[in-house]
């Protein structure tokens, strides 16, 4: 069919516009992206081996010593060595403060530290909770709530970590903390309050041999109820609040 040149010039742009509109583009959206993390698109980071200097900074070494000390704290709680348990628990609390201060003051923050430090805290709280429950210092229901929340957060972290990796997703990528961005919990006020109350509660029970003559059982029971309530509320917040998770690069 013959078309006048002027007509052809007037129709061609419109045809191109229609073509660009009518051709659909189908893309798949990862469930992880719907969480709207407060971060940019993850990119591959520089590789870090066990001998990388950033793995062995002063704050990280202090964190490693806390992890090593934790099983001994649980052992001495169970087998009735309160002085040793108190000493090691005090060491863990003091070094937890010191390593954070050094990391901020001397710019020694690292990806490894941002992951290992909260894990060390959770490891300490979990071991102490189980040990104190074993010697009947913590009610079994409360111990189950505390441990259950931490287990849930751990599984969610593993799941989001796996989903954040670019295909092909392999075990090597999953465990390469320093090489690929990872995901961590971003606590809000309720989460921080619960963590503080848990540490106060667990710490007071560890120190109970020294405090029970000053603080009665009613105070411990009241603090335990408060810990249980905030643990449940903060756990629900981490499940339903998508902004509670963020990328760590």
- Average model confidence (pLDDT) across the chain: 78
At 2, phi and psi to the nearest 5? -90, 130
Q: What pLDDT was estimated at residue 182?
A: 62
Mean pLDDT calculated for residue range 177-196: 74
More confident residue, 29 or 98: 98
Q: Which residue has tokens 């964190």?
A: 63
**Diameter of the chain measured on Cα atoms:** 105
- pTM > 0.95: no
In a domain, 5, yes or no: no
In a domain, 172, yes or no: yes
Q: What pLDDT was estimated at residue 241?
A: 82
In a domain, 23, yes or no: no
pLDDT for 115-135, tens place per residue?
Answer: 888 889 889 999 999 999 999
Per-residue pLDDT band at 24 (split at 50, 70, 90): very low
More confident residue, 193 or 249: 193
User: What CATH number has the domain bearing residue 179?
Assistant: 1.20.120.1760
Mean pLDDT calculated for residue range 159-175: 72
Asked if residue 206 lies in contact with residue 89, where contact means CB atoms within 8 angstroms, the answer is yes
In a domain, 2, yes or no: no
In a domain, 122, yes or no: yes
**CA distance readout (Å), 146 to 49, 119, 137, 138, 186:** 34, 15, 14, 11, 18
Contacts 24+ apart (CB under 8 A), 217-224: 223/197, 224/138, 224/139, 224/142
In a domain, 205, yes or no: yes
Domain count along the chain: 1
In a domain, 135, yes or no: yes
168 preceded by a cis bond (ω within 30 of 0): yes
- By CB neighbour count within 10 A (0-12 exposed, 13-18 middle, 19+ buried), where does 115 fall? middle
More confident residue, 158 or 140: 140
Per-residue pLDDT band at 45 (split at 50, 70, 90): very low
Distance CA 147, CA 152 (A): 9
Mean pLDDT calculated for residue range 52-75: 91
pLDDT above 90 as % of the chain: 37
DSSP assignment of the chain: ----HHHHHHHHHHHHHHHHHHS-------TTGGG--SS----PPPP--TT-GGGG-HHHHHHHHHHHHHHHHHHHHHTT-HHHHHHHHHHHHHHHHHHHHHHHHTT---HHHHHHHHHHHHHHHHHHHHHHHHTTSS-HHHHHHHHHHHHHHHHHHHHHHHHHSPSSP-HHHHH-TTTS-EEEE---HHHHHHHHHHHHHHHHHHTHHHHTTTS-HHHHHHHHHHHHHHHHHHHHHHHH-GGGEEEE-
Domain that holds residue 89: 46-248
In a domain, 9, yes or no: no
């Amino acid at each position: 069919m013959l078309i006048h040149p002027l007509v052809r010039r007037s129709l061609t742009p419109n045809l191109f516009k229609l073509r660009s509109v009518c051709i659909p583009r189908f893309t798949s959206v990862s469930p992880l992206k719907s969480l709207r993390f407060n971060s940019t698109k993850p990119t591959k980071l520089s590789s870090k081996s066990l001998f990388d200097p950033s793995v062995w900074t002063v704050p990280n070494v202090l964190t490693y010593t806390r992890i090593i000390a934790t099983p001994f704290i649980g052992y001495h709680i169970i087998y009735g060595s309160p002085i040793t348990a108190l000493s090691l628990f005090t060491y863990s609390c003091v070094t937890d403060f010191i390593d954070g201060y050094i990391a901020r003051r001397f710019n020694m923050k690292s990806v490894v530290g941002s992951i290992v430090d909260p894990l060390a805290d959770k490891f300490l709280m979990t071991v102490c909770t189980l040990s104190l429950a074993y010697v009947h210092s913590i009610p079994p229901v409360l111990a189950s709530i505390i441990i259950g929340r931490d287990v849930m957060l751990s599984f969610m972290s593993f799941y989001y970590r796996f989903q954040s990796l670019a295909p092909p997703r392999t075990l090597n990528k999953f465990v390469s903390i320093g090489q690929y961005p990872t995901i961590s919990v971003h606590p809000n006020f309720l989460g921080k309050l619960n963590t503080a109350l848990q540490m106060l509660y667990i710490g007071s029970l560890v120190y109970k041999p020294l405090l029970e003559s000053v603080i009665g059982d009613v105070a411990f029971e009241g603090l335990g109820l408060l810990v249980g309530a905030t643990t449940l509320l903060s756990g629900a917040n981490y499940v339903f609040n998508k902004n509670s998770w963020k990328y760590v690069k």
